[in-house]
Amino acid sequence: MPCRQYTTLMDQRFDTRYDLWTHPAGDRLFESQGGTSRMASLDEHYSAHDIESRILSALRSAGLDPGEGVSPSQLSALDHFHTGGLRASQELSELARIGAADLVLDIGAGLAGPARMLASQCGCRVECMELTADYCKGADLLNRLTGLEARVLVHQGSALDMPFADHSFDVAWMQNVGMNIEDKRTLYREIHRVLKPGGRFAFQEMAAGAVPTTYFPLPWATNPRDNFLVSADEMQTMLRECGFSVEIMEDTSDEHLSRSVANATPAAPGQLGLSAFVDNLGEKSGNARRSLEEGQVRLVRSVCLATLQN
């Protein structure tokens, strides 16, 4: 099933910004995203032209035949675009106790690798909310190639204004996305709104460290304009204000640093990797590691419960 573009509001292309001014909700969304220049900047950061051909060519170079179909596990070096790769996703899914009966929302799903992992390993259905049009196209392609298009659906739009009814989901899932979102209270309230009472919100992201972030580009931001880090303590305070109880909030920075760099390094020729669609990956991931090593950022993961109504 193809990506559903429910609104043009959050289409990140610069030349569609006029829709923002004419849409009834445009002002609010425009403000919450920080205006045209920031939206264009984030779009520029993540856009990956011809992503479908780039993915197909990377698969062929890695010896896979897209015509024969591929399995989610064969894609994991390519489609888990977050710190710690597949292993971090598997650990988070265990912490969140995701099972076949759950309806999961993946926020900022990227190419939907984690969503396909959850659908294939846990047997659940997953709806993906993703801002970047190119990534939605890539996610749709990979859903078709893995035969998971009926269980992993992709919606293009913003996590700050999602096209879902209240209390729709058992689990909300988010990996390495909050760093791009300045208005975290609106994000958390929106997630709380679409979760069923008692639903789980499982996430990982980079938090602010003891000193400011100075090395750019990073995998999530070309420049400071798209980098919105808060400390783990500030996250917890905001989550509670927005109706969550925090079950788990742990700092996994040291554990991550002691492990290999997994899919953060550019793949060698003939190997699948994020560099199929992320430009300057070596520089970005090198800066991320250095930022972690020097305490400019911290890697955190959390599981929260939607308890109170807000």
Binding site for ligand SAM (CB under 6 A): 46, 80-82, 108-110, 113-114, 129-132, 135, 158-160, 175-177, 180-181, 219-220
Among 123, 119, 159, residue whose Cα is nearest residue 142: 119
Q: How far is the CB of 137 from ligand SAM (least distance, A)?
A: 12
Residues 6+ apart with CB under 8 A from 258: none
Place of tokens 């808060």: 230
Min separation Cβ 308 and ligand SAM, Å: 24
Residue 42 CA to residue 25 CA, distance in Å, equals 20
Tokens 């992993």 -> residue: 152
285 or 296, CB closer to ligand SAM?
285
Residue found by looking up tokens 């990982």 in the block: 204
The set of residues, in sequence order, having a beta carbon less than 8 Å from that of 48 and lying 6+ positions away, is 54, 134, 135, 138, 277, 278, 279
In terms of CB distance, is 110 or 209 closer to ligand SAM?
110
Q: Write the single-letter amino acid at 109.
A: A
Which amino acid is residue 72, in one-letter code?
P
Q: Nearest CA to 108 among 83, 135, 89?
A: 135
Give the amino acid at 7.
Answer: T
Q: How far is the CB of 110 from ligand SAM (least distance, A)?
A: 3
- 247 Cβ contact list (under 8 Å, min separation 6): 200, 302, 303, 304, 305
Q: Which is nearer to ligand SAM, 221 or 306 (CB)?
A: 221
Tell me the closest approach of the beta carbon of residue 22 to ligand SAM, in angstroms: 21
The residue (of 136 and 239) whose beta carbon lies closer to ligand SAM is: 136
Longest C-alpha distance within the chain, in Å?
51
Looking at beta carbons, which residue is closest to ligand SAM? 110
The distance of closest approach from Cβ of residue 267 to ligand SAM in the complex, given in angstroms and rounded to an integer, is 16
Residue with Cβ nearer ligand SAM (202 or 306): 202
Residue closer to ligand SAM, measured from CB, 221 or 304: 221
Nearer to ligand SAM, 113 or 243 (CB): 113
What's the Rg (C-alpha) of the chain?
A: 18
Nearest residue to 299 via CA among 261, 262, 249: 249
User: Is the Cβ–Cβ distance between 222 and 216 less than 8 Å?
Assistant: yes
Residue 157 CB, nearest distance to ligand SAM (Å)?
A: 7
AA letter at 259: R
- As measured in angstroms, the least distance from the Cβ of 63 to ligand SAM is 23
CB of 8 to ligand SAM, least distance (A): 15
Report the residue number, 94 or 245, with the smaller CB distance to ligand SAM.
Answer: 94
| CB count in 10 Å sphere of residue 268 | 7
